Amino acid sequence: RKFNVAVVGATGAVGEEVFRVMEELNFPVNKLIPIASARSAGSTIEFLNKEFTVLELTETVFEEQEVEIAFFCAGGSISEKFAKFAVEAGAVVIDNTSHFRMDPKVPLVVPEVNPDDIGLWRETGIIANPNCSTIQMVQSLKPLDDLYGIKRVDVSTYQAVSGAGKSGMEELVKQMQDFFAFRLDETEIKAFAHQIALNVIPQIDVAMENGFTKEEMKMVNETQKIMHKNFEVAATCVRVPVLRSHSESLTVTFKDGVDVDVNEVRNALENFENLKVIDDLPNKKYPMPIISTDTDFTYVGRIRKDVYASNIVHYFNVADQVRVGAATNAVRIGLKWIEMESDI
């Protein structure tokens, strides 16, 4: 059967991508209900070659429209305020924001990694979508943990400006234009703490008391929750002038006594759902943002055993932040929920 599907934040970067991914994955939509703030209400979005008018987000819209599945992609404060009205109207909420992620009653799901956690949705009506940098990381950690058992993960990220939404992407483009017009010294700096064009910024989100940033601690806490493991994770999250694919450099330390076989690692990654291995350094083949952008795969490469310790492997991954890191994961959660939990 088909479902009445609402997308809250329908005109944002992730909301727009949810429509594209639903089209591509043949999401069983009966009625499509795009929703946004009063400012964007009345505009139109396209879905399967038809135009749909964006409705205003109100407390009653979910009940009035008989919403059954609601994707929330409009920021934490909107989810905090409005998700409950969707749940009260009988919908399952798939929330893209960080608001509910660490609530012990709310499942935090990457469908390739912990699909069974979706079953916990009945407790609150909400399923949380993890942070983008966490999603693409756990997709490769899961097969490696199954293979050898992970003891510790050290990760540095190279995160695209799309993580800050449309305004982040527009700011990078504008600053590049200003650079070519010899105006970079007077460019506007708004979406990020510093100029992002021709720069890298080793801060994403606010500072925490322990010296890490909030983004870095999301990668620690969300990874442990999704994988049901408490292995150590240390992250350094860096914003780079890339439009919409995050990259990550990982060092994974396995349990004591493990002797890493790079071929086994490569096989485990190759055989995992939605991962693609590109790993041919002599021929200059490895994952890069220009490869992953606009795709639904996470690409892994530069796989190598540590020079000193036999239980350590290093590798690099990339994934489209707006898709794999947000919209595609949310739509995949929706499809899994339909398969597992809806009363069809």
Range in contact with ligand 11C (rule: CB under 6 A) among 35-43, 106-114, 126-134, 308-316: 126-134
Closer CB to ligand 11C, 193 or 198, in the complex:
193
Least distance (Å) between residue 153 CB and ligand 11C? 17
Task: Give the number of residues in contact with ligand 11C, rule: CB under 6 A.
Answer: 11
Q: Is 132 an interacting residue with respect to ligand 11C (CB under 6 A)?
A: yes
User: Which one of residues 11, 40, 79, 98 is an interface residue with ligand 11C (CB under 6 A)?
Assistant: 98
Give, as ranges, the residues between 215 and 234 that touch ligand 11C (CB under 6 A).
215, 218
Q: Is 159 an interacting residue with respect to ligand 11C (CB under 6 A)?
A: yes
Quick check: 29 and 7 in contact, CB under 8 A? no
Quick check: 292 and 235 in contact, CB under 8 A? no
Range in contact with ligand 11C (rule: CB under 6 A) among 63-71, 131-139, 195-203, 275-283: 131-139
Task: Name residue, tokens 């305020």.
Answer: 81
Which of 73, 99, 132, 237 does the annotation list as catalytic? 132
The 3-state DSSP class for residue 30 equals: strand
Least distance (Å) between residue 163 CB and ligand 11C? 2
Measured CA to CA, the distance from residue 64 to residue 21 in angstroms comes to 26
Quick check: 124 and 247 in contact, CB under 8 A? no
- First-to-last CA distance in the chain? 7
Q: How far is CA 223 from the centre of its chain?
A: 12
Quick check: 71 and 96 in contact, CB under 8 A? yes
Record the tokens describing residue 298, joined without a space: 């996470």
Closer CB to ligand 11C, 8 or 41, in the complex:
8
Q: Is 164 an interacting residue with respect to ligand 11C (CB under 6 A)?
A: yes
Quick check: 130 and 227 in contact, CB under 8 A? no
Q: Residue 197 carries which side chain, given as an amino acid letter?
A: A
- Angle (CA) 239-132-278 rounded to 5° is 85
Least distance (Å) between residue 87 CB and ligand 11C? 20
Catalytic: 132? yes
Range in contact with ligand 11C (rule: CB under 6 A) among 64-72, 157-165, 177-185, 264-272: 157-165
Range in contact with ligand 11C (rule: CB under 6 A) among 4-12, 59-67, 158-166, 287-295: 158-166
Q: Is 163 an interacting residue with respect to ligand 11C (CB under 6 A)?
A: yes
Least distance (Å) between residue 133 CB and ligand 11C? 5
Q: How far is CA 281 from the centre of its chain?
A: 27
Record the tokens describing residue 168, joined without a space: 């982040």
User: Which one of residues 11, 40, 79, 133 is an interface residue with ligand 11C (CB under 6 A)?
Assistant: 133
Q: CB-based burial of residue 309 (10 Å sphere; 0-12 exposed, 13-18 middle, 19+ buried)?
A: middle
Catalytic: 246? yes
Q: How many CB atoms lie within 10 A of CB 82?
A: 21
Measured CA to CA, the distance from residue 157 to residue 256 in angstroms comes to 26
Closer CB to ligand 11C, 89 or 161, in the complex:
161
Q: Is 94 an interacting residue with respect to ligand 11C (CB under 6 A)?
A: no
The 3-state DSSP class for residue 150 equals: strand
Least distance (Å) between residue 277 CB and ligand 11C? 24
Least distance (Å) between residue 204 CB and ligand 11C? 5
Residues that bind ligand 11C (CB under 6 A): 97-98, 131-133, 159, 163-164, 204, 215, 218
Active site residues: 132, 246
